[in-house]
A and B are shown apart, each in its own frame.
Chain A
Amino acid sequence: MSKKLRANWRIGLLSVVLVISVILSGLVWVMPYRYEHPNEATAPRVTSVATMAQENLYVPTMVVKTGPDREQHLLFNQPQNVVLTARESLRKWTLQKGKQVSADNPTAYREYLRQSNALVLSYPSAVAIATFNTTFNQKLSAKDLTLVNRIVIPLTGQARIYLLRDQGTVVYRYQVNAQRLTKLKASLLGGRRLPVEYRWLNNQLVLTYPHAITLPTYRAAIEQQNVDSLAQTLLNSAKGKRLAQRVEGNQRIYHNGSDKRLVYDQAQGTLTFENYLSQPTRYSLQTVYAHFFRRLQQTGIIQDQLQFDTFDHAKQQITYRTTVEGFPVYNEDNYGTVRLRESETGVESLRFSCYSLTTPLPTKQSALTLPATAVVFNGLQAVGKLKDVQGLRLGYWWHSDPTAKEVTVRPTYLVKYKGEWVPYQTLMHEGGQPA
């Protein structure tokens, strides 16, 4: 037996090295795939330089503080900026040992949001855990929680943090190492606070305002981007070389003759860019947010005050929106909004406005008062529209004026009605205008 083995050891060894080389060749062969789609379970590694701007884009925008008696307040206008301070602090902490503590239980979910002496930071809509990792310099696995809507930070020094996902009402608890709360607590001082309550409305978690609220107006400069230079950037044209363009009614159409096209609607100030890719690319949930960030960087669009707003996974469509002090800004012509989409058929599309909000200016208008949320809901109920309401948020309205150099944005409730966010007044009576 041993003699036979000794005689054939070369054959055996040859088979082993052959099998290894086949396996390794296979691995090397599929590597381009690995570049574009990092393993779902291990979120991309964080680098200090490349991801800095991305962490400014994907941030929670709403801050709610729960007091000792579980009373809750929305915080805004704090000079230190609570979200920025939380980000700076969290980047130094280490979150680990994630454990699911609740799921499929809306009541329990709301209780986690209402735990006493805690801070709730909410994203406008869910982000991938990889995106959370980039913003907060963590290494959490997407095997546990794939998406995050809210971060709950107890302020009592329990060395715990909760990450919450609205869809499926999932709550994960993480242990925190090296937690220091001093700066975060100090950042809560000053600014404004409004009493709030979390409520479930048609299966959506909504932040409601039990009393009438008075909110400041904000003023800012408007910058109109040069469409010709945007066209040059988007259509990858060499500087100085004139792009083919034609005018059809209100539209000016730029094209590079093959795969790229930009349509500028001069009346609305909107631009629609289409890029026909040779083949469709499908991005995983953990990589798609970073992909859209990189695409946004390449567009040349002004990104002042722009923040992540919504992502539709089925459509592969992301929306970035202008914000003031964490509040979303809406406009009838989508001023200050950027929408990017990777369609299944291989068309990459980008829709945005040539108007952006830039430098903040001192406001000249006084504060405005909005009714309690219950009053709005009653009004919607009275006109029979409440059942189709999928969400409500406090935001600011930017009234369109193509000639204006600056604008005062005014607070209003935005209601998500049949998939569209509209000012609540327009639903009360047809053709109504926001305050």
Chain B
Amino acid sequence: MNFKRIQTIFIVAFVILDLFLLASYAWGSQPMVTNSHQNQQVALRRQMRADDIKLPLLSDQRQSGYYVLVTPDQNLVKQTQNLAPLKNATIQENENLVTVTYDKPVVLNSKTTAPAKVAPELTHQKRLVAGNHYLYHPDLSTSKTLVYSQELQGRPLLDSAGELRIFRNASGAITGYTQGRLSNSKLLRSRQPTISQLEAVNWLYKNNQLANNSKVRWVKLGYTKLQCSDDQLIYVPAWVAEVKNQTSGAGHLLRVNAFRENLIKVP
């Protein structure tokens, strides 16, 4: 082999080496944090897929909310008893929840049978107190039970104390309802940031709250009772997720405190 040939081989070899070094340098100077974090998220998704867990589209936008002090409406049962059309209805009260069973099912005309209009119409007919102050939730409702909730600081109250459940029979007539009502809200501290929808679901998975073969149907940010203080209640923003077993179809709700990343247990 002549000298020129050896030189050419060396040039080619070093050019290849240079290209390789350049590539590894460029790769290495990518920001580490971004990579490792994105990788973590991708790995987590892959794991969930392997566990046959189905998720809706989730947002990584952080939100904000308040620690709110609220009082249950003590007058609700009295106001309900004072409604003239309920003279013969059964009215029960249990832990500030009022349950009314109409003496005979109420049939609404076709214009007012749209679920969102049922509560305002019943209020208009004086068969329900302040039903127009509740918001209808199609996700939480079934054909037999229509679920509505009050709002607190621009977000729904996602627990029974601020909820209205209207019951319908098979023919669509209203048989009665259970109502919780909160009044007098007061902020305990200034607005604070919360975790994102995505972080809430990741937290649930990492803490073994999402079983294999389950489906997260939806994840909503709403206010949930955290604890009692004397006769007042402290509410915090919580990510509430409905989780269904994909085989049996049985569902349940999970609540993650959006300020602290822990599970809020509802008795």
Contacts and interface: CB of A to CB of B under 8 A. Distances in A.
A275 B120 CA distance: 64
Contact of B226 (A48, A85, A359): A359
A259 to B, nearest CB: 25
B43 to A, nearest CB: 14
Interface stretch (B16-24, B83-91, B210-218): B16-24
Interface residues of A, number: 41
Contacts, number: 103
A84 B64 contact: yes
Interface of B: 4, 7-8, 10-11, 14-15, 17-18, 21-22, 24-25, 28-29, 31-34, 37-38, 41, 60, 62, 64, 66-67, 69, 186-193, 196, 226-227, 229, 232, 234, 236, 259-260
A80 B191 contact: yes
22 contacts: A14-B11, A17-B14, A17-B17, A21-B14, A21-B17, A21-B18, A24-B22, A28-B24, A34-B29, A47-B33, A47-B34, A50-B37, A51-B33, A52-B62, A77-B190, A79-B66, A79-B191, A84-B193, A221-B227, A361-B234, A362-B69, A362-B186
Nearest to B68: A360
B190 A13 contact: no
B25 A48 contact: no
A374 interface: no
A361 B187 contact: no
A56 B191 CA distance: 13
Given A10-B7, A47-B33, A49-B41, A362 B191 contact: no
Given A84-B193, A325-B190, A17 B18 contact: yes
A18 B14 contact: yes
A189 interface: no
Given A10-B7, A44-B33, A47-B33, A360 B28 contact: no
5 closest A-B pairs by CB: A24-B21, A81-B190, A17-B14, A10-B7, A81-B191
A10 B188 contact: no
B4 A10 contact: yes
Nearest to A55: B193
B260 A304 contact: yes
A18 to B, nearest CB: 6
A286 to B, nearest CB: 14
Contacts of A360: 67, 188-189, 234
A25 interface: yes
Given A20-B18, A21-B17, A24-B22, 7 more contacts: A10-B4, A10-B11, A24-B21, A45-B34, A47-B37, A84-B64, A359-B67
Interface in A1-60: 10-11, 13-14, 17-18, 20-21, 24-25, 27-28, 31, 34-35, 44-45, 47-52, 56
